[in-house]
Amino acid sequence: MSEVLRPGRSWLWLKLVASLAAVVLVSSLLTVVLVRLSLASGMRTMLARADGAQAAELAGAAERFIDQGGTIQEFSRLIGAVPRGVMFMRNWPEHRAGMMGPGRIPGAAVPPRGQPAFTHLAIADAAGVVLFHTMEGPAALTLSQLRPQRGWPVRSGGQVQAYIFVGSMLDPMLGPWQAEFLRQVGRSTVLAAALGLLVALALGSILFLNIMSPLRALAAAAAQVAAGNLAVRLPTDRSDELGALSAGFNGMTRSLAEADAGKRRLVVDAAHELRTPVGLMQTRLELMLDGVYPVSREHLAALHGNVLLMGHLIHDLQELSAVEGGRLRLELAPLAIGELLAGLVEDFRPQATDRRLELSLVLPDYGLPILRADRARLAQVFNNLLANALIACAEGGRIELRAAVAPAGDRLDVLCVDDGVGIAPEERERIFERFYRLDSSRNRRSGGSGLGLAISRELVRLHGGSLTAEANPAGRGSLLRVSLPLSAPGGSA
């Protein structure tokens, strides 16, 4: 394996790390904001419930005070005289010290140690006019009218006598200790987010390096391929998408190497095939120029034969290149395959008769379906198969062309069977290579270019079929099978 080049900079790695940092940072900021908002909302809800409970307790004490003959104004004055720390919590019965009667507040109790006193308390009459409050600072200077619907009503005799406001009913802002708690939670959340960002960057960097390593190798290998090194390969020890990418790259370079080798072989084989007729022509012409050979019809006919051979070779090369390059377009039309085969057999019958060969066509009694195919190209394929069979058979031999629908009913099989020299198992695939001949001496007594079967296989593939060489059940000779897909039946041939 060629040495893998290393890119100088890791821009993609930096972009991935920066993207991860941005995502984690935004997520952390959103988490901090959402946690703070959620905690603030939860604390306001908790305070509102607690303030409502205290307002209800105090309203109950006021209602009992009024029911005993007092007024809300007197209750407000008594509230103002209560020392700091006195609460009205019905759920502290063991601390209750209240007495019934004027001058005392029913239910008054001293809270346990550590319980905060009222710092935000106001009492307003039924119209919302403030009678009493414990507010301090700028808020106390402007506190004269409150909205009754925000307070807790004090009822007596079926009518609302006053409203009591506690804590958040007066000031929706959180207190100092609640604000300090939120600040501490915010600092802790920011610290946790920062630690999470560092951990994510560390783990992400390791992960991205693991991803970048094969990508760098791929980039370096691609550069080598661009420079002409088709032997470069990538490791395929990964089982993920990057491993599949490496395997695909290796397959691509392998195909490119095979194509390049095929191109080189084609050039060498074409030069070899052209060398013989060109050499013969050069020799004959030199002898004719030197007066050794007369310029006779016989010698000119030999030269003409070599020209025809070269023209045939060049035509086959052009046709094979067009087929393999996808430039050849089939002219598809309904085709009666039985009539086509019968006509070809009759065309070859004179040659078979001259060589005392038996040539026959075997078609099923039920007839053959109509194919949708290019008549000229299929005729070229079967023409090449029959010509090769004539060459392979000795005098007195037999050639048979059979056609029938495959048992599965989806394809038509045409077999060209002869009892000639046959094809060895190891050569049944090689005969479809360019310029390959069964005759190891590569003689050209037949005048063939060595491209006929290669062209025929590509033409059959264009029709969606296959051309293969198989063992002859008779034990000798050769069998070539052309398998074509069936179109919708349109009649019989």
Is 492 part of any domain? no
Is 383 part of any domain? yes
Decide which of 256, 291, 324 is a domain's last residue: 324
Q: Residue 236, Cβ neighbours under 10 Å: how many? A: 16
CATH assignment of the domain containing 295: 1.10.287.130
Q: What is the dihedral of CA 315, 316, 319, 325, to 10 degrees?
A: -130
Pairing status of strand 478-485 against strand 411-418: antiparallel
Question: Do residues 284 and 303 touch, judged by C-beta distance below 8 A?
Answer: yes
Question: Do residues 77 and 108 touch, judged by C-beta distance below 8 A?
Answer: no
Is 53 part of any domain? yes
Alpha carbon distances (Å) from 402 to 13, 363, 486: 65, 6, 17
Residue 208 exposed, middle or buried by CB count within 10 Å (0-12, 13-18, 19+)? buried
Q: What is the dihedral of CA 234, 235, 236, 241, to 10 degrees?
A: -60
Residue 398: CA count within 13 A, CB half-sphere:
9
Q: Are residues 477 and 382 in the same domain?
A: yes
Q: Are residues 316 and 382 in the same domain?
A: no
Tell me the three state secondary structure of residue 217.
helix
- Rounded to an integer, what distance in angstroms lies between the CA atom of residue 223 and that of residue 218? 9
Is 72 part of any domain? yes
Relative orientation angle of helices 297-324 and 241-289, to the nearest 10 degrees? 170
Question: Do residues 88 and 107 touch, judged by C-beta distance below 8 A?
Answer: yes
Instruction: Give backbone dihedrals phi and psi of 145, rounded to 5 degrees, phi first.
Output: -140, 130
- Rounded to an integer, what distance in angstroms lies between the CA atom of residue 207 and that of residue 196? 16
Is 45 part of any domain? yes
- The count of structural domains within the chain is 3
Relative orientation angle of helices 297-324 and 452-462, to the nearest 10 degrees? 30
Q: Are residues 407 and 459 in the same domain?
A: yes
- Rounded to an integer, what distance in angstroms lies between the CA atom of residue 357 and that of residue 359? 6
Domain that residue 267 falls in: 241-324
Q: Are residues 124 and 24 in the same domain?
A: yes
Q: Are residues 20 and 109 in the same domain?
A: yes
Q: Residue 152, Cβ neighbours under 10 Å: how many? A: 21
Residue 466: CA count within 13 A, CB half-sphere:
6
Q: Are residues 154 and 255 in the same domain?
A: no
Q: Are residues 34 and 144 in the same domain?
A: yes
Q: Are residues 124 and 154 in the same domain?
A: yes
Q: Are residues 270 and 347 in the same domain?
A: no
What pTM was estimated for this model as a whole? 0.49
What is the residue-level pLDDT of the chain in tens, covering all 493 positions? Answer: 444 444 455 676 677 777 778 888 888 788 878 887 888 788 778 888 888 888 888 888 888 888 888 888 888 887 766 654 444 433 333 333 343 344 444 444 444 433 344 567 888 888 888 888 877 665 555 556 677 778 889 998 888 888 988 877 776 666 676 777 777 887 888 888 888 878 888 887 787 777 777 777 888 888 888 888 888 888 877 777 777 888 888 888 888 887 777 677 767 767 766 776 787 788 878 888 888 878 888 878 878 877 877 777 777 777 777 776 777 788 899 999 999 999 999 999 999 999 899 999 999 988 889 999 999 899 989 998 999 999 889 888 999 999 999 988 889 999 999 998 888 888 889 888 877 766 644 444 455 567 888 889 989 999 999 999 998 888 888 999 999 998 643 344 4
Q: Are residues 56 and 160 in the same domain?
A: yes
Decide which of 278, 307, 324 is a domain's last residue: 324
Question: Do residues 33 and 26 touch, judged by C-beta distance below 8 A?
Answer: no
Q: Are residues 450 and 342 in the same domain?
A: yes
Decide which of 324, 341, 358 is a domain's last residue: 324
Is 148 part of any domain? yes
Is 200 part of any domain? no
Is 232 part of any domain? no
CATH assignment of the domain containing 468: 3.30.565.10
- Cα torsion angle, 92, 94, 97, 100, sign: positive
Helices (H), 68-95: 72-81
- Rounded to an integer, what distance in angstroms lies between the CA atom of residue 220 and that of residue 235? 13
Write out the two tokens for 214.
Answer: 């094969």
Q: Are residues 308 and 343 in the same domain?
A: no
